[in-house]
Structure 1
Amino acid sequence: MARERFLGRRGGAMPRMAMKSTTISSLVASGELLVQWHAHYRAVRCLALYDFLLISGSEDGSIKVWDLLTMLDEQSRLEAKTQHIYSFNQHALPVTDVACCHGAIAVSSSEDHTCKIWSLSEGRMLRSISFPAITDSVALDPRSHIFYAGGRDGKIYVTAMGIDVTSPSSDDSTIIGALDDHSKAVTSLASSTDGLILISGSEDGNVRVWDTRTQQVIRKFKHSQGPVTNVLLVTPKRVNLPPLQSLRKVCSANGGSESRAVIVPQPENDVQIFGNFSSDFLERCLDALQPGSSSRLFESGASALYGAPKQQGVEWRSKYLELQDLFVREVLDQMPSPKNT
């Protein structure tokens, strides 16, 4: 099992940073603002990425799914009937967290005491699960079809997805256990890539490291200065990021722009990590949007990079969605029924 580290943030901030109801996309290498758009009526509570999709959850109770390739291309945004791909409004109260897993499935938590499972390929709710307490955080186990939900009662609920693809259902019988070692709300959860380790942070100022096989605490940490608002697992490897510019204009809080200095990393200390097709493709598309290039992403960007006309790009996307849908159905067919859990 690869060694991983976790980082805990302390007091003074929301468990998931609340922003104005505007989603912003920027280029990390330079800090340059690429695009911003009005996403929700109230503050954005949480964000999650799945392939080319951005999922946002808001205090207005809605969840929206955005196609980054469309949002990054001005002409595509203008031609689209709606900027978002899907809008889910089944939560009755603010959304507190959202997480994505294989098979284009997303899980969201809310102050309405439910976690809901969504199909990102079909654009519909697959299941709604009720909990005895408000859930503020969710984490997915990559090994199996379960997820963890952090409750305000201090418990971490182990929940089987048990998705019923015939009709949405509401059944708390799929809560198969609970990890109980926090005295206050569990504000954040993070799972290791192999699913054997779960990290939890709480308003009681404690961080717990759990062995998911035995469901026992194997490490305890205490933040004396306030509640833990977020935890993050970080691998020891460093990603080889694109070169940084010495001075760039960045967007400031008052809506203007100002120049700030950045530190250029030492290339000899970086470890090259080869990305998958999706991340490499998106990176090339971002390069195509830099000054001096055309705003037509699919014509001058993606299509030119791969030597394919726009129509062929549309066909590739259609085939991709078909394969994704087939994969989702295979995953769902293999999931155990809740009654057999």
Structure 2
Amino acid sequence: MEISVTGLSSIDNGIGSWDLKTGTEQLRFKQCASPAHGLTAVGDKFLAASQLRNASGSSGSIFFWSWNKPQAEVKSFPLESITALAANMEGTYIVGGGASGDIFLWEVSSGKLLKKWHGHDQSVTCLLFSGDDSLLVSGSKDGYVRVWSLIRLFDDIQRQQQGSTFYEHDFNEHTTSVTDIVIDYGGCNALLVTASEDCTCKVWSLSKGKLLRNIIFPAAINALALNSYKHHFSMLVIKIAKFISVP
């Protein structure tokens, strides 16, 4: 069964899951206060969502649900409020971005914090693994988009030599908060597409580390999607109030 999972607009409505074939709702995961990009599927194992607040008023928690139970089964409490959350395709790692700009990488099986580093000067708004899990892309409220090599992240000697600038690419063309990121990891033709509250959508070359195209819209872009012909600009689809084809 193919399932669509969506964080609903109202905090009181929680998370809904629907059968894509029939359109019927399968389950409602309640009591969720997740921010935008704070919800992720951890492989086919379970759902995880960062919580900006809870009943006691404290912050910094992450709730975990199995696919067939509406109540959160596990709750964890990171060092700070997590504003963005993502898992790799296999569900072996979860990465969270904090309000401070710090990024945390946990091992799912043990729950161990493997790495923590300062990724941005303002809160992290988006996180995304590449298709082969070799790269992590982060977006921030400061408008910056940074590409991190997971191999280099675990190379402590190289990190010490490079200081704080150990990212692969540092894209700083957006003027306000980054709202979404999509990636087509196609080897030498790999593309990164970013959206921002500055009403632009930008297409980047991951291999060359440069801006390929800047698309200006009359409203801020909140969500992005690439169709099956990912690398074709003519087939790029942006979700605003309705679908708009980009020529």
Residue of 200, 203, 215 corresponding to 2:197: 203
Alignment-derived partner of residue 131 in structure 2? 142
Go from structure 1 to structure 2 and tell me whether the alpha carbon gap of 1:17 and 1:110 turns closer, same or farther (over 3 Å shift).
farther
Query: What percent of counterpart residues are identical?
Result: 17
User: d(CA) in 2 for partners of 1:111 and 1:190?
Assistant: 22
User: d(CA) in 2 for partners of 1:25 and 1:93?
Assistant: 25
Letter in 1 for 2:99: E
User: d(CA) in 2 for partners of 1:103 and 1:83?
Assistant: 18
Residue of 209, 220, 224 corresponding to 1:227: 220
Letter in 2 for 1:234: N
User: d(CA) in 2 for partners of 1:17 and 1:229?
Assistant: 15
TM, length-normalised to structure 1: 0.53
Contact 1:188–1:201 (Cα < 8 Å) also in 2: yes
Q: Any unmatched runs of 5+ in structure 1? A: 1-15, 72-76, 165-170, 238-341
User: d(CA) in 1 for partners of 2:201 and 2:191?
Assistant: 13
Alignment RMSD, CA only?
A: 2.9
Alignment-derived partner of residue 48 in structure 2? 55
Off by >6 Å, runs of 4+ in structure 1? none
Alignment-derived partner of residue 175 in structure 1? 167
Letter in 2 for 1:63: I
Structure number having the greater strand percentage: 2
1:33-182 to 2 correspondences below 5 Å: 33-40=25-32, 42-43=33-34, 45=36, 46-49=38-41, 50-60=43-53, 61-68=60-67, 70-71=68-69, 83-84=72-73, 86-102=74-90, 104-130=92-118, 131-143=120-132, 145-161=134-150, 162-163=153-154, 172=164, 174-182=166-174
Contact 1:96–1:136 (Cα < 8 Å) also in 2: yes
TM, length-normalised to structure 2: 0.70
User: d(CA) in 1 for partners of 2:72 and 2:141?
Assistant: 34
How many residue pairs are counted as aligned between the two chains? Answer: 204
Larger radius of gyration: 1
Alignment-derived partner of residue 186 in structure 1? 178
User: d(CA) in 1 for partners of 2:181 and 2:44?
Assistant: 21
Contact 1:107–1:115 (Cα < 8 Å) also in 2: yes
Go from structure 1 to structure 2 and tell me whether the alpha carbon gap of 1:183 and 1:83 turns closer, same or farther (over 3 Å shift).
closer
User: d(CA) in 2 for partners of 1:144 and 1:38?
Assistant: 30
Residue of 16, 37, 41 corresponding to 1:24: 16
User: d(CA) in 2 for partners of 1:38 and 1:106?
Assistant: 22
Contact 1:48–1:100 (Cα < 8 Å) also in 2: no
Go from structure 1 to structure 2 and tell me whether the alpha carbon gap of 1:200 and 1:63 turns closer, same or farther (over 3 Å shift).
same
Which protein, 1 or 2, shows the higher relative CO under an 8 Å CA cutoff with sep ≥ 6?
A: 1
Contact 1:199–1:207 (Cα < 8 Å) also in 2: yes
User: d(CA) in 2 for partners of 1:27 and 1:62?
Assistant: 29
User: d(CA) in 2 for partners of 1:157 and 1:222?
Assistant: 21
How far is 1:199 from its partner?
0.5
Go from structure 1 to structure 2 and tell me whether the alpha carbon gap of 1:19 and 1:89 turns closer, same or farther (over 3 Å shift).
farther
User: d(CA) in 1 for partners of 2:44 and 2:180?
Assistant: 23
Instruction: Give the 3-state SS of the residue equivalent to 1:231 in structure 2.
Output: strand
How far is 1:149 from its partner?
0.9
Q: Any unmatched runs of 5+ in structure 2? A: 1-6, 54-59, 156-162, 231-247
User: d(CA) in 2 for partners of 1:210 and 1:17?
Assistant: 30
Contact 1:55–1:65 (Cα < 8 Å) also in 2: yes
Instruction: Give the 3-state SS of the residue equivalent to 2:80 in structure 1.
Output: coil
